[in-house]
């Protein structure tokens, strides 16, 4: 069975399925109950499953994560919502110092099936602390799995796979795509959670990105096609671990790679991909691996976000530079 859903509604459907399938799944976060969350991702779930399984928390991210750790110790599968990306930092110590290390600390005897949902990224015209891309902090932390869907179908399946994981999963949701509709196949077998995927085939340049950036890459690929350039696009889907096999295979075919992200470029996931591909496919490269990112500054006021965030034109400029070598 298939349907057409916005990404936010696909997440809602995935959370509903997880709650229905496992009575140990709990949802917790600020304003996720009667309100249904700022972006209405959890709308209607408290009314359906009750206040003991879908509940509001105090405005205290450290407390939310700490409580989730305790619940995981008792056999529950808590799913925490961080209201906005920039609000995650009060909970950073609990995530990186405790949650990520708990299983290793107990030599595998304790599992931490905790999912932390993080609406992230720009393009919504919001104020400071509401449009950040902090995913690299967590991808850098051993013990955490980090994923980000770009389509409603992936959102529906990946949130269920994340909840089923016995390891902690940082689940980054591209908030600018919450209202973008797409097909959801409710009966299909999902792709493995930590797999990247070729979403457009091409022969001359490989473009790699995740989350909201995948839409921008597809726009750039379409424009490049009109100019006579064949571009392949890969959706990372998983940021830790990264599935490099499709990326390496694509670069061996095209000889050129452009990696794009909304996050600042220094010490980033894009930088890690560039380094790994250079190490693994150096003799296939016809040009240096190029990166397109936001600038290494705090996220600017909303009226400047279109200058700050990579767009199709900046991607195409990198494509042209790669082809010029």
192 domain residue, yes or no: no
**What is the average pLDDT score of the chain?**
96
pLDDT score of 188: 86
Instruction: Give yes or no: residues 176 and 234 share one domain.
Output: no
pLDDT band at 130 (very low <50, low <70, confident <90, very high): confident
201 domain residue, yes or no: yes
pLDDT score of 127: 80
Instruction: Give yes or no: residues 98 and 212 share one domain.
Output: no
The DSSP code sequence of 234-264 is EE--EEES---HHHHHHHHHHS-EEEEEEEE
103 domain residue, yes or no: yes
Average pLDDT value for residue range 113-138: 92
pLDDT band at 267 (very low <50, low <70, confident <90, very high): very high
pLDDT score of 125: 84
Domain closes at, from 185, 218, 245: 185
Please identify every residue annotated as catalytic.
Answer: 130
Instruction: Give yes or no: residues 22 and 114 share one domain.
Output: yes
Percent of the chain whose predicted confidence (pLDDT) is above 90: 94
pLDDT band at 132 (very low <50, low <70, confident <90, very high): very high
pLDDT at 175 over 90: yes
42 domain residue, yes or no: yes
Instruction: Give yes or no: residues 173 and 260 share one domain.
Output: no
Instruction: Give yes or no: residues 59 and 207 share one domain.
Output: no
pLDDT score of 77: 98
The domain tally of the chain equals: 2
Instruction: Give yes or no: residues 88 and 49 share one domain.
Output: yes
pLDDT score of 8: 98
Is there a contact between 31 and 37 (Cβ–Cβ < 8 Å)? yes
pLDDT score of 189: 86
Residues paired with 241 in a beta bridge: none
Which CATH number do you get for residue 129?
3.40.50.970
Domain closes at, from 131, 152, 185: 185
191 domain residue, yes or no: no
Is there a contact between 43 and 37 (Cβ–Cβ < 8 Å)? yes
Average pLDDT value for residue range 120-134: 88
Average pLDDT value for residue range 10-38: 98
User: Per DSSP, which regions of the chain are E strands?
Assistant: 2-6, 25-29, 54-56, 77-81, 115-120, 145-147, 169-174, 181-185, 197-200, 205-209, 231-235, 238-240, 257-264, 290-294
Instruction: Give yes or no: residues 29 and 172 share one domain.
Output: yes
Give the range of the structural domain holding residue 231, as residue numbers without chain letter.
197-324
Instruction: Give yes or no: residues 164 and 222 share one domain.
Output: no
């Amino acid at each position: 069975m298939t349907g057409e859903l916005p990404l936010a509604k696909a997440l809602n459907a995935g959370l509903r399925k997880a709650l229905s399938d496992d009575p140990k799944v709990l949802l917790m976060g600020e304003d996720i109950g009667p309100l249904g969350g700022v972006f209405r991702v959890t709308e209607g779930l408290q009314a359906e499953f009750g206040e003991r399984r879908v509940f509001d928390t105090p405005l205290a991210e450290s407390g939310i994560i700490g409580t989730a750790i305790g619940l995981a110790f008792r056999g529950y599968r808590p799913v925490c919502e961080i209201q906005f990306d920039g609000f995650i930092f009060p909970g950073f110590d609990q995530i990186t110092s405790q949650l990520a290390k708990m299983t290793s600390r107990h030599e595998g005897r304790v599992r931490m099936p905790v999912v932390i949902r993080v609406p992230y990224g720009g393009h919504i015209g919001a104020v400071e602390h509401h449009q950040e891309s902090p995913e690299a902090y967590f991808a850098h932390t051993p013990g955490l799995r980090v994923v980000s869907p770009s389509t409603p179908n992936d959102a529906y399946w990946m949130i269920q796979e994340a909840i089923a994981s016995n390891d902690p999963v940082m689940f980054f949701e591209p908030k600018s795509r919450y209202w973008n509709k797409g097909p959801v196949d409710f009966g299909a077998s999902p792709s493995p959670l930590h797999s990247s995927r070729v979403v457009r085939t091409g022969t001359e340049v490989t473009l790699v990105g995740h989350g909201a950036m995948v839409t921008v890459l597809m726009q750039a690929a379409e424009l490049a096609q009109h100019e006579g350039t064949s571009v392949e696009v890969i959706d990372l889907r998983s940021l830790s671990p990264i599935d490099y096999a499709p990326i390496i295979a694509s670069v061996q075919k095209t000889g050129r790679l452009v990696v794009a992200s909304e996050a600042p470029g220094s010490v980033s996931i894009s930088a890690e991909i560039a380094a790994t591909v250079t190490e693994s496919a150096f003799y296939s490269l016809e040009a240096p691996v190029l990166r397109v990112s936001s600038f290494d500054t705090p996220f600017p006021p909303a009226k400047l976000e279109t200058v700050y965030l990579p767009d199709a034109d900046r991607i195409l400029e990198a494509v042209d530079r790669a082809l010029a070598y």
